[in-house]
Every structure is written in structure tokens, then in C-alpha cells.
Amino acid sequence: MKVLFVHHGEVIGGAPVSLLNMILELKKNPDISMKVLCVKETMKDFFQEKANIDVGDIHYPCNILGKVIIGWGNLFNRQTFLMALMEITRIRSSIKIQCKQLKKENPDIIHLNSSILFTTAIAARRLHIPIVWHVREILQGGRFNFRRIFAGWLIKRFADKVIAISPSEANSLGKDTYHNIEVVYNFVDFSKFDSSLYDPLKEKSKLGIKADERLIIGLGGVSWRKGTLELIEAMEFTQINVRLIIAGSDMPRAYPISIVRELRVFMEDLLVKSGLKKFRRCEYNYRVLNALNKLKKNKVVFTGPLDDVRYLIATCDLLTSTHTFPHSSRPIFEAWAMKKPVIAFNMPGIIENIDNGIDGVLVKNTTGEALGEAINVIINNSMLLKKMGKDGYKKSYKRFRSEVNILKVLNIYKELTHHT
């Protein structure tokens, strides 16, 4: 059986890491051959190096338009609007070229690694190749939102089987009315995410953290969706012995102070306070730098991109997942695998996993002040942190073990290809 994976992204994050873990598990089955087609060269290198798997290119599959369709692209953004319009004019040629590429590969199954890959799905359907569509994003909008209904219809229309990474993603598609959706949680390799492999005190020392200081970590770099600004603002309200390390490919970039930037920030703040706008994203790096400047030096440290964050998770006292946008959070499960507690904003995709006060803390108000106050309640309570970490481990071990979830994927492949 040949499985052809199609990956959409260009940076190392939850989607490629989850796909990598799946591929590594599938490689244990000698009856399956695999190849990954990537939009970007960087991701080809990632899969080739990490999984030693055959890789190739896929013609640009209108990713911006796909993001707009599922509600992850803002049409009110001039650049996004123009790029989406350009991609609309290229849909036909994109599908035609992808048909040629997919036909040449001649797979038994095409496995799409994101909700946004609509043109690839159309190409695969034209070739009558079974499609497994991996939905990793929560479709945005209310129950009667046109984009959400349309995106859900397209995915249901073209997929032979939909894999959702949690109940939130499944429900955003209309799981109750569609039998072909199955929840398969992201894989966590417990042999690798093992806190006993690390000495927290030694690792803290390497990071320049004192033994009596509490370490909080955030993964994802600078991103408004991941609440980087709110997390940094929270540090202004935390106790003096609390330090924060943020890892990720995006780093804050310096911008000169200007009246125009200050005015744009001021106007957006008014819109957010009045309820006319949900998120603070205008001049985001500028906002992040301003928040950093209010803090004591080294209160917050950025590591930049890391190939391996396990030592950070093993060393921390608390992992944060401050998404301000509905989304599942892979680091939560990895933290639990290493018996670490988590704190997160009360967001769809998060609330379905965390039991508030049991294996983590959910913060209702998505503000830095509310987050900082919640951190203060638990950060110096070692017994509570340890208990939350242990309870999280039990849940993670039950839901996210590779050997449990890979069987679900294999059964889906067998069902679609009639393999016994």
C-alpha cells in the first residue's frame, strides 16, 4: 500500500511534527510505503532528515484561499484579500498541475495534512484516489456562518474519511450529521517525552535559571493566535521569582516608535474594548516589544527556533498554552507526558482536554492580568503542581499514545483500500 502525504506549511510546528510522528509509526509496518509532497523546500528537508522518507514537491495548492475558506485568513487584510483573489484565478491551473503530479505518484491513498488543501482534494477526486483528510484546524464562525458551512461541505464532499485531531475539530465540521469523521488524537512518543531522562536542576542552571526560581515556558514564538502578547503582559503581574522562556521560530523584531503606529494601536484598543474587534493583532511585534520593555531584564527570554523542546518541558514548572484563537494545543499533551501541569485560556480546542483544577488551569478572561493572577495562585504550590502533572500524565497516556492511535489510522487505510 502506498500512502502519499501532502503537507501545506513552511515552518516546523504542530502539524508537521504530528505528521512526522505518524510516519515514524507507520514505518514499522512493512506493507506500507510512503512519500511526502511539500509546498516548501524547508519542510522537504525536515521530513527527509527526521523520517528518512522519500519527499517531493507539490504545486502551490492555493493555501491562502484555503485559509480564507476555513476562517483562518482575514479578508479585511489587504494583502490576504489580494492574494486570495490571485489564487482564485489560478485554481484551474493549480488543479490541473496537481492532477499530473498525483497521477505520476500513483498512490493507493492520498493523506492531506490540513483542512486548507481544497485544490489538492479536487485533483485527487478527479483521479479517483481515496482521500484521507486530516483536519487540524477548527473551522471558524458560528453555526450559520457561510464560510464554515461551505468549508465543512467541501471537506465532506471530497473526503473518503476525515480524521479530526480532537472533538472540537470534528464538531466544527458537523460531526453529528456526518458518520465519516473519526477522532484520532495527535501522537506522543512516551519513550521520548520522559522527564526521568533529564535533571531539572542541571537544565535550569544551563538556562541561567536559579534553583529557587520558577520557570514557565511558552512554545510558538511570536503569534497573536498563540497569545504571545498576553503571556508577556502576564509577567508584569507575576511574583518576582517567576521567569518565562518562549521558544519558537518567530522572534520579536525591533520597530522605531512612530505616531502612526501609536495611533493604530490606540484605535485597535478602542475597538477591542468596545467589543467590535476580538483580537489585538495590529502592529503585533511593536506591541510585544512595548510589553517587554515594561519588564525587568531577563524576566522573559526568547530562544528562537528549536529542533527539540523536550529539555525545556522537562525543566519547567508550568507550561502555558495561551491561544486566543480556537485551536488544539499539542504542547499540552507533551507536557502531560512529562508530568508537567499546564495553564491555558478557556478556548475551544483547549477546554475539551483540560479539567480545570485537576490537570491544569483554565483562565476565563484572555488578558495578561488574569493570566498572571492565575499563575500566582499555583506557581509556588509544589504539591499542587506535581499532582496536576501526574493527573495530566494519566489522561495523556490514555489518549495520546502512538501505539493506540496508529491502529485507528491503519484501520482507516485498510477500510479504504480493502486490505485485510
At 201, the amino acid letter reads L
On whether the CB atoms of residues 150 and 170 are closer than 8 A, the answer is: no
DSSP H/E element including 375: helix 368-378
What pLDDT, on a 0 to 100 scale, did the predictor assign at position 176?
54
pTM of the model: 0.85
**Residue range 30-58: average pLDDT?**
92
Per-residue model confidence as pLDDT tens digits over 195-211: 999 998 899 998 989 98
What pLDDT, on a 0 to 100 scale, did the predictor assign at position 355?
92
For residue 125, the cross-strand partners are none
Per-residue model confidence as pLDDT tens digits over 167-223: 888 888 875 555 688 899 988 889 889 999 999 889 999 898 998 999 999 998 888
On whether the CB atoms of residues 363 and 357 are closer than 8 A, the answer is: no
Report the range of poorest mean pLDDT among 34-43, 212-221, 270-279: 270-279
- 242-247 and 54-57 strand pairing: unpaired
At 12, the amino acid letter reads I
Per-residue model confidence as pLDDT tens digits over 307-361: 789 999 999 999 999 998 888 888 999 999 999 999 999 988 888 889 999 999 9
On whether the CB atoms of residues 154 and 118 are closer than 8 A, the answer is: yes
Per-residue model confidence as pLDDT tens digits over 364-409: 999 999 999 999 999 999 999 999 999 999 999 988 988 889 999 9
**Residue range 64-79: average pLDDT?**
84
Per-residue model confidence as pLDDT tens digits over 3-34: 999 999 887 777 888 999 999 999 999 999 99
Q: Which pLDDT band holds residue 273 (cuts at 50, 70, 90)?
A: confident
For residue 57, the cross-strand partners are 38
Class of residue 335 by CB neighbours under 10 A (exposed 0-12, middle 13-18, buried 19+):
buried
- Please report how the helices 14-26 and 330-337 are oriented relative to each other, as an axis angle in degrees rounded to 10: 60
For residue 218, the cross-strand partners are 246, 320
Distance CA 80, CA 240 (A): 42
Residue whose C-alpha is closest to residue 9's, from 52, 54, 53, 66: 66
What pLDDT, on a 0 to 100 scale, did the predictor assign at position 361?
96
Domains in the chain, please, with CATH?
Answer: 2-187+401-417 (3.40.50.2000), 195-399 (3.40.50.2000)
Per-residue model confidence as pLDDT tens digits over 78-110: 888 888 889 899 999 999 999 999 999 999 999
On whether the CB atoms of residues 25 and 406 are closer than 8 A, the answer is: yes
- 214-219 and 318-321 strand pairing: parallel
Q: How far is CA 418 from its chain centroid?
A: 32
The three three-digit cell numbers of residue 115, written as one number: 483542512
What pLDDT, on a 0 to 100 scale, did the predictor assign at position 125?
95
Residue whose C-alpha is closest to residue 369's, from 229, 248, 219: 229
On whether the CB atoms of residues 241 and 212 are closer than 8 A, the answer is: yes
What pLDDT, on a 0 to 100 scale, did the predictor assign at position 420?
42
Q: How far is CA 71 from its chain centroid?
A: 15
User: Phi first, then psi: what are they for 54, rounded to 5°?
Assistant: -65, 135
On whether the CB atoms of residues 44 and 55 are closer than 8 A, the answer is: yes
Distance CA 57, CA 39 (A): 6
Percent of the chain with pLDDT over 90: 55
User: In angstroms, what is the C-alpha Rg of the chain?
Assistant: 22
